[in-house]
Amino acid sequence: MALKSLAVMSPEQGLSRYLTEIRKFPMLTKDEEFMLAKRWSEHEDPEAAHRLVTSHLRLVAKIAMGYRGYGLPIGEVISEAMSA
C-alpha cells in the first residue's frame, strides 16, 4: 500500500488548506490503532508508524486551537506540536 504524504504547506497556502489536507487521513478504530502499534513495536513497520501519526493530525490541530488568544500563530503551535 502506498503511503499518502502530507505536503509541506507554505504560509501563503494557509492554515485552512492544511486543516483540509489533514482531513484526508482516516481516523482509526481502537482495534486498528492497537494492531498498528503492535506492528510498529514488533516489526518497526514504517507504514504502521505513518498511519498512526497521520491519523492523529486532527487531534494535534484541535489541541493547538485551544491555545488561540495566547499571542502565538496557530500554524506555529501546530508545527511545534508535530515536531515534538
Predicted confidence (pLDDT) at residue 66 exceeds the cutoff of 60:
yes
Q: With contact defined as beta carbons under 8 Å apart, do 34 and 46 qualify?
A: no
Instruction: For 21-56, give one letter per residue: b (16+ CB within 10 A) or e.
Output: ebeebeebeeeeeeebeebbeeeeeeebebbbebbb
Place of cell 505536503: 7
* pLDDT higher than 80, residue 82: no
Question: Are the beta carbons of 48 and 58 closer than 8 angstroms?
Answer: no
pLDDT band per the 50, 70, 90 thresholds, residue 73: confident
What is the reported pLDDT for 12? 47
Average pLDDT over residues 10-18: 71
Residue 6's pLDDT is 60
Is the pTM above the cut of 0.85?
no
